[in-house]
Structure formats: C-alpha cells, structure tokens
Chains A and B, each alone.
Chain A
C-alpha cells in the first residue's frame, strides 16, 4: 500500500482529534495515578461540591472524585487493550482457520459465528456475569469470549481472498506446509484488517465494561468509569451529582468517539472507495 499514513492523518481532522485524545488518555492513565490523591482514601468530607483540593468534589464516602476518575480511565484503557487484543486473537484464530481449512470445519464455525451475531454480546455477558460478580480481569475474559464474532467473519472473508493470491499459491507449490503459510503469509497480510478489528473490539470492550458496570454487574469495590457512574446514579437529588456523574461520562464518550475516528481512518486506508463518502 503506497499511502503515507502521515499524510492521511494530516488531512483528516477527525483522525487527528482521535489520536490526540487517545494519547491524552494514555498519558493520564500512565502518569495520572502518581499525581492524584489515593482514590480509596475515605474521609469525613463527603458529598462536597468542587473545592480547592478536590477538583471534582467528593463522593458519598469522602473519596476524591477526580482521583477516581483518573483511575477509572486507567481501568477503561486496560479493558480496551486487553479485551481488544484477546477478542481480536480469538477472531483471528477462528477466522483464518475457517477460511484456510474450509470444508465442513468452515461451515460449522460460520454457523456458530452467525448464531453469536444474532444475539447481543451484552446479554450473554450479563447472563454469565450476574452469577460471577466479576472483577476487571474476569470481565475482560468474558467480553473477549463473547465479542469476537464480527471480527472473525471479516477476517475469514479476507483469508478466503488471500488464499488464492499468487504468492500464497506459489509458496504452497514450493512445499510450504499449511501452518507455515498461515503464520508467515496470511496473518501478516491481514495487517490493517487486524488493526481495525482490534480498534473496534477495544471500543466495544470499553462500552460493554462501562455498560455492565453501570447496570451494577461488576465488583463495585473496584474503580472504573462505569462503576463511578453506577455509584453516582443514586444521588440524583443532590447538586454534587452533576460533578460526579458527568465527567466520567464525558471521558467515556470522548474515548469512544476517538476510537471510532481512528477506526474510520484505517478503514479508509484499506478501502479507497470509502475515501470520498
């Protein structure tokens, strides 16, 4: 692909915005915890409106909302990266194997994928998670287990078209074994498709985690953006509520928006037909 990524980003204001926001998110997640107060520290200063020392006020346990926000962003990023990676890995394994092996295996796998596509992942996860009362790690695994199907389908399609490309056919005639071709040629050639799949899976993971936590399916003693919002919902009659509820919501929306923009940018790079739309 002879397209300079740099030039594409320069032209695309939305992608630029997205990349900046993601960078800010990463910086806050890495360095924020050093700078803010202890998010678990209780105090008698509860339900305070913003004052010096508590930029966003305090919650019902007297914990600093801003500190919790920073840790919540870190949790979201952790979910995004690990669940994004895991679900893309599952999708890649199933997609490439399905496309590459073909035959009955492909038929069975695609039937399963289609069945999983029919029902929203969030319902599967709610069903299992309600019993497990999961912490962040369990949630990451659950999200990955139930949110790989879309990516798998796209990757399978791409594998099918790669399978008959000249360089792959010729490497087969030179005696390359199937696993070698898969690892050495097909998966590297998927390249950007895997990146897009990762970004959209990461985006979905952030949304699912936040949504589940918001409903209350999470270990509520941990911190994440969804859990902060869940805890804040009960205090709608107090003025402090807005300071407590809106910032995590904005952080969440911003990261989702940025990932959409970055995903669209890479999709445009893969498929030139989208560029003028």
Chain B
C-alpha cells in the first residue's frame, strides 16, 4: 500500500511539474503561452504587471514552483479571461456531469459484464458463448468516440428517438419530474456508448475466471451435494469470479473510463469535463485546460487509490503480495 501511494505521489509531481514547466519553456514566455498573444495585445501594461506579480513570474524559478504548488493545494488554478471567472469555479460547474456519467456507466457496464460473463463461462463453447465472446472482442476494438458517433447517428438522427446534444433542453420550462426525465433522456446516449465500450473488459475477465473456477473441486462437491444449478452458478462459482474483475481491471480501467468519458462527451456536446477541455482547446483558454487536466489527473489518482483499498477488502490474498 505504501509503495502504491508513493507511485501516486510521484505521478502527481510529474504532472504538476509538466504543468508548471511546459508553458515556461514555450517561446514568448509563460504569459503568452498561457493567455495567448491575443490577450497580451488587449491588456494594459498595469494588468500585465499585475499578472506577472500575482504569478510571481519576477521571482526565481524555484520560488515560482513553490508558489505554484501552494496555490494548487489551496485550490487556486488561475483565472480564465474567456469565461471571466476563476478556473476552479468553471471546472466545478462541469465536473458533476462527468462524474454522474462515469459513475452510472461504471455501474451498468460492470453489472452487464459480470452477468454476461457468468452466463458465457457457465455455457462455455455454446452458441451464445461464442456469439457473446466474438461480439465483445469486436466491440472492444472500436474507439470510444466512433461508437458514440454511430449511436448518435442511429438513435439520434435516423430513428430520432433521443436528443443528441447537451445535458438538458434549453428554453424549456419543465418542473420537477419533467426535468429529471429530460436529464435522463439526454444522458442515455452518452451513457449507452460508454457502457458499450466498457462492458467487454469486465465480461472477458469474468468469463475467464468463471471457466477456471468451474474446474475447481468445490464445484464438483457442490454438484455432488445436489445443489441447484442456479445456486452453483451464481453463489459458488459466480461470487468468486467477481474478484478478478476488481483486481485485474483496476488502474487501466479507471484511466480508460475517464478518457473514454471525455471523448464521448465531446461527441454529444455533453457539458462535462470533456466538452470543457474541447472548448478550451478551441478557444486556447489554457488556464482552464491546464486546470481541467490537473483535476482529471487527481480524479484518476483518487479512483485508483480507492480501488487499491477495495482490492484488499475483496481479496485478502492481495495483502500477502506486498
């Protein structure tokens, strides 16, 4: 556990340092790199002085780095001239949408993956198993944003079933239940795309561990005792097959989930972190871009730490490995 936390700390410092040094290494200096030459032309010399001293750009590099660290820890990610508001506030407006999307997609893709994986592993070699396995391998190879585009075309445009943009209808006066239904409707397509992309990894791991668990003697014993098929399938073999889903998907899953969510949000103009990053790239709003990437990094690290913690609760064998 200690070793892992050290990894996260190092990773965090690499990101912070990149965040700090890259704009300072750009030709034209950090102010031009961060705010763009357009902004520099439009601000008065006094404002420029104020920016320089507020970032401590007149101080030595080491002092600047220290000041940067302190302000990050205080939650001060800078100021966005495009949005005319502190970066943290902008990010906090967008973050909940991403978290909601990710959380629900995580829940559904894991549930589907586990259920389908159990069925598939139980009936190994059957037609259903072969179909599911091939389908999952196939769909796992699609880039997340292309899946999102296909969903958008099929359900949003050709069938016209669901809204294709945003997180809620604008200019509509829906109260209470109406607005909840509206939000769910808007979230359905992005969520479906995320679920589609992330079910395969859970499925494949569950299926493999189901197959190896079914070969264990305790299954034979359970059968000999005359237990019901459903009980053996879900309670004996199934329960043990869930452990590797947590332990093996872990880190890579968390990071892929977050980047996948970013791409899919862009396709559906869903107002989360992905769209924020996309727009800030279009506008060259670098303070927001840097802040968003930093927040996402922290998110990835926190999710990974939580997963790490859960592994040990779920599978006591992990503790012996350290």
Contact = CB atoms under 8 A, between A and B. Distances in A.
Contact of B281 (A122, A216, A233, A252): A216
7 contacts: A126-B289, A128-B22, A211-B263, A214-B263, A249-B149, A256-B141, A277-B208
Given A118-B251, A215-B277, A216-B278, A128 B149 contact: no
A111 interface: yes
Contact of B11 (A119, A130, A233, A277): A119
Contacts of A118: 7-8, 11, 251, 255, 300-301, 304
B138 A124 contact: no
Interface of B: 6-8, 10-11, 14-15, 18-19, 22-23, 26, 33, 137-138, 140-143, 145-146, 149-150, 152-153, 157, 164, 208, 211, 251, 255-256, 258-259, 262-263, 266-267, 277-278, 281-282, 286, 289-290, 293, 296-297, 300-301, 304
B7 A111 contact: yes
A80 to B, nearest CB: 14
A23 interface: no
Interface residues of A, number: 38
A123 interface: yes
A246 B146 CA distance: 8
B142 to A, nearest CB: 5
B22 A131 contact: yes
Nearest to B146: A249
B300 A211 contact: no
A116 B14 contact: yes
B143 A210 contact: yes
A115 B7 contact: yes
B94 to A, nearest CB: 15
A211 B164 CA distance: 20
Interface of A: 14, 111-112, 114-120, 122-124, 126-128, 130-131, 207, 210-211, 214-217, 229, 233, 236, 242, 245-246, 249, 252-253, 256-257, 260, 277
B196 to A, nearest CB: 13
Contact of A242 (B26, B145, B153, B301): B153
A111 B149 CA distance: 39
Contacts of A260: 137, 140-141
Given A14-B137, A128-B22, A214-B263, 7 more contacts: A111-B10, A120-B255, A123-B259, A127-B15, A127-B18, A131-B26, A211-B259
A245 B149 CA distance: 8
A119 B15 contact: yes
A115 B11 contact: yes
Contacts of A111: 6-7, 10
Contacts of A130: 281, 286, 289
What are the nearest 7 A-B pairs in CB distance?
A115-B10, A257-B141, A249-B146, A120-B255, A115-B11, A118-B11, A114-B7
B301 A126 contact: no
Nearest to A150: B252
Given A123-B259, A242-B153, A214 B145 contact: yes
Given A115-B11, A119-B255, A215 B142 contact: no
A242 B211 CA distance: 42
A253 B197 CA distance: 13
Contacts of A236: 152, 157, 164
Contacts of B286: 130-131
Contacts of B164: 236
Contacts of A127: 15, 18-19, 22, 290, 293
Nearest to B26: A131
A229 B145 CA distance: 10
In this complex, the member of A123, A215, A260 whose beta carbon has the largest number of chain B beta carbons within 10 angstroms is A123
A257 B135 CA distance: 12
Contacts of B266: 214-215, 233
A259 to B, nearest CB: 8
Contact of A126 (B23, B255, B282, B293): B293
Contacts of B289: 126, 130
A96 B258 CA distance: 32
